[in-house]
């Protein structure tokens, strides 16, 4: 059976269910497989399978302490009619690339892919482990995770969910999606600060042992829905394999041929999932990591130095406005060959010096990655170009990826077929998208949604319709230093 260990070492060796419940390890490390698992069938043998069946195989491969029936039930309940696309993640060809549309779930962003299933994986884990504590999910969000987690956990028995989002930086549609959330167990707070402040605050709560003891006395256990939870990462591996199979089916590649994967990156969860897929046997030539002006990762991949001592930009791709990409730690762990002492050293340097430099195996391993970035003007131009030339709408995050992909091709001449992760509906960022394709100014985001639909004929996702008319149920704005107190008050 697979065991999960902390990227920072230590004695803990858990099964998957325990790792999903815990979220983060005791020494602040992230849980990773001690030995990387192998698929029980070849990728070729999965050709023709529907999404749910690919997901069952992939998730079952990592989480082998769950029974086959348990995995099947989690998958079937997650990827059902909540997804508007029949094949869950359609692959669409446009402008010399294939787009893996990951945004057809309830909240119209790719976070739904993992957060539709995490509550089921967690509930099953709690039952398997005989936990009787109530699970409280704490989540910091740059916009999309929060809503997807709220939808996933709303009214799930035995859970509470608390979401913190930065007061400035999320789009109006994103904010409204969260502040109108229904469900007796949902709690939403805006915080004065940016995403990193919110994420740091949440991590601090997780590491507060006295608070944990007080909560335990009340029968409550904290867990995380952020992409640091292995239960979020693993379901994402499935769609890269499925996307590849679709490209074969569409005649874009031959079975076994390598592809480039392009991912608009923030916390490094999505692109790490593609790396995990590659470790399972997916033929990948290069991983293109796309950033906006907050280009810490571009610089890291190019120079081997991770340095957060820089200006923080609020951009029109807010889910990527991040300077500390938590899941990078898992990549460093893999590239170092599981050298937990080295990861401890690097993360301690990040904590105290705000930067670190990698060398040796890690630096060499980074060669499989290409780092590039696009600023707001380039992003808008890419949206306009793609729409004019192909009548295909990109959201701002996906447009960052597309621009980086164009730059990469020009710079390297590499024409390997590419799969671009399309991470949000263009309607979530309607103002930027509408103005990028030349539509006139409107009074608010919701008017932009309407105008964009009218002009393009691309249907708005169900989950985004009419949210401007729903009552606001959460309107608290708090300081980051008060996050812990608010959590205790809620519980
Ligand atoms: C979260 C998010 C990203 C970044 O994904 P990571 O896994 O954090 O790198 C990109 N685009 C959108 C729309 C997102 O919601």
Specify the pLDDT at position 450.
Answer: 94
Q: If you measure from the C-alpha of residue 314 to the centroid of ligand 1, how many angstroms do you get, rounded to a whole number?
A: 15
Pocket probe for ligand 1: among 99, 100, 106, 109, the residue whose CB has the most ligand atoms within 8 Å is 109
Q: Which of 94, 80, 29 is nearest to 51 (CA)?
A: 80
Low-confidence ranges of the chain (pLDDT < 70): none
Q: Measure 215 CA to ligand 1 centroid, in angstroms.
A: 31
The Å distance, Cα 83 to ligand 1 centre, comes to: 18
Distances, alpha carbon 381 to alpha carbons 385, 423, 435, in Å = 6, 18, 10
* Closest ligand 1 atom to Cα of 269: 7
- Test site for ligand 1: of 107, 224, 270, most ligand atoms within 8 A of the Cβ: 270
Alpha-carbon distance of 169 to 297, in angstroms, equals: 20
Ligand 1 neighbour 425 (Cβ under 6 A): no
Torsion of CA 160, 161, 164, 167, to 10 degrees: -100
Query: Would you say the CB of residue 199 lies under 6 angstroms from ligand 1?
Result: no
CB atoms within 10 A of CB 353: 11
Question: Mutation test of ligand 1: which of 108, 114, 149, 264 has the most ligand atoms closer than 8 Å to its C-beta?
Answer: 264
132 CA to centre of ligand 1 in angstroms: 33
For ligand 1, the distance from its centroid to the CA atom of residue 397, given in whole angstroms, is 8
Closest ligand 1 atom to Cα of 322: 8
In short, whether 320's Cβ falls inside 6 Å of ligand 1 is yes
299-309 burial, b at 16+ Cβ within 10 Å, e below that, comes to: bbbeeeebbbe
Pocket test for ligand 1, best of 397, 426, 463 (most atoms within 8 A of CB): 397
* C-beta atoms surrounding 231 within 10 Å: 30
At 142 the pLDDT is 79
Q: Is the CB of 269 under 6 A from ligand 1?
A: yes
The reported pLDDT for the residue numbered 133 is 86
Please give the distance, rounded to the nearest whole angstrom, from the Cα atom of residue 229 to the centre of ligand 1.
15
Instruction: Give pLDDT tens digits for 163-215.
Output: 999 998 888 888 999 999 999 999 999 999 988 899 889 989 988 999 999 99
Q: Whose CA is nearest to atom 14 of ligand 1?
A: 319
Q: Does residue 270 line the site of ligand 1, with CB under 6 A?
A: yes
pLDDT attached to residue 144: 82
pLDDT value of residue 93: 98
- Taken as a whole, the chain contains a residue count of 491
Residue nearest to atom 15 of ligand 1 (CA): 144
The CB of 186 under 6 Å from ligand 1? The reply is no
What's the confidence (pLDDT) of residue 487?
Answer: 94
| Residue of minimum CA distance from atom 8 in ligand 1 | 267
Q: Residue 429 has what pLDDT? A: 92
- Interval between CA 264 and ligand 1 midpoint (Å): 7
pLDDT, position 20? 94
Ligand 1 centroid–CA 428 distance in Å is: 13
Please give the model's pTM, rounded to 2 decimal places: 0.93
316 lines ligand 1 (CB under 6 A): no
Q: How far is ligand 1, taken at its centre, from the CA of residue 423, in Å?
A: 7
């Amino acid at each position: 059976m697979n065991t999960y260990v902390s990227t920072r070492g230590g004695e803990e060796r858990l099964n998957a269910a325990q790792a999903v419940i815990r979220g983060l390890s005791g020494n602040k490390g992230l849980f990773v497989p001690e030995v990387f698992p192998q698929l029980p069938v070849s990728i070729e043998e999965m050709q023709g399978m529907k999404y749910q069946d690919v997901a069952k195989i992939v998730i079952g491969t990592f989480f082998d302490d769950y029974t086959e029936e348990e995995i099947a039930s989690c998958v079937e309940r997650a990827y059902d009619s909540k997804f508007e696309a029949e094949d869950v993640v359609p692959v669409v060809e446009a402008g010399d690339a294939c787009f893996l549309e990951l945004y057809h779930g309830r909240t119209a962003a790719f976070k739904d892919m993992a957060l539709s299933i995490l509550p089921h994986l967690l509930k099953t884990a709690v039952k398997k482990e005989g936990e009787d504590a109530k699970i409280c999910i704490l989540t910091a969000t740059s916009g999309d995770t929060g809503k997807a987690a709220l939808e996933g956990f709303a009214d799930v028995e035995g859970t509470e969910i608390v979401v913190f989002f930065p007061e400035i930086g999320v789009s109006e549609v994103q904010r409204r999606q969260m502040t109108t959330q229904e469900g007796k167990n949902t709690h939403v707070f805006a915080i004065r600060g940016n995403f990193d402040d919110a994420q740091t605050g949440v991590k601090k709560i997780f590491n507060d042992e006295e608070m944990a003891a007080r909560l335990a006395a009340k029968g409550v256990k904290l867990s995380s829905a952020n992409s640091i939870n292995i239960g979020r990462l693993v379901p994402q591996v499935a769609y890269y394999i499925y996307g590849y199979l679709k490209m074969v089916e569409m005649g874009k590649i031959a079975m076994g041929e390598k592809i480039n994967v392009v991912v608009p990156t923030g916390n490094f969860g999505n692109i790490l999932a593609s790396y995990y897929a590659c470790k399972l046997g997916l033929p990948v030539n290069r991983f293109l990591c796309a950033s906006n002006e907050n280009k810490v990762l571009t610089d890291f991949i190019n120079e081997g130095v991770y340095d957060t001592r820089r200006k923080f930009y609020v951009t029109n791709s807010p889910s990527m406005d991040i300077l500390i990409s938590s899941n990078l730690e898992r990549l460093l762990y893999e590239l170092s060959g599981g050298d937990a002492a080295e990861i401890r050293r690097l993360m301690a340097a990040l904590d105290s010096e705000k930067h670190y430099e990698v060398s040796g195996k890690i630096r060499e391993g980074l060669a499989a990655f290409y780092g590039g970035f696009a600023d707001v003007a380039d992003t808008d131009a890419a949206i306009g170009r793609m729409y004019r030339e192909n009548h295909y709408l990109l959201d701002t995050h996906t447009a960052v990826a597309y621009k980086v992909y164009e730059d990469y091709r020009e710079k390297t001449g590499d024409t390997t077929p590419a799969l671009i992760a399309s991470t949000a509906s263009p309607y979530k960022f309607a103002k930027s998208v509408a103005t990028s394709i030349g539509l006139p100014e409107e009074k608010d985001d919701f008017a932009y949604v309407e105008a964009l639909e009218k002009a393009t004929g691309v249907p708005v996702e169900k989950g985004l319709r009419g949210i401007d008319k729903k009552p606001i149920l959460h309107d608290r704005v708090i300081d980051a230093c008060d996050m812990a107190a608010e959590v205790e008050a809620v519980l």
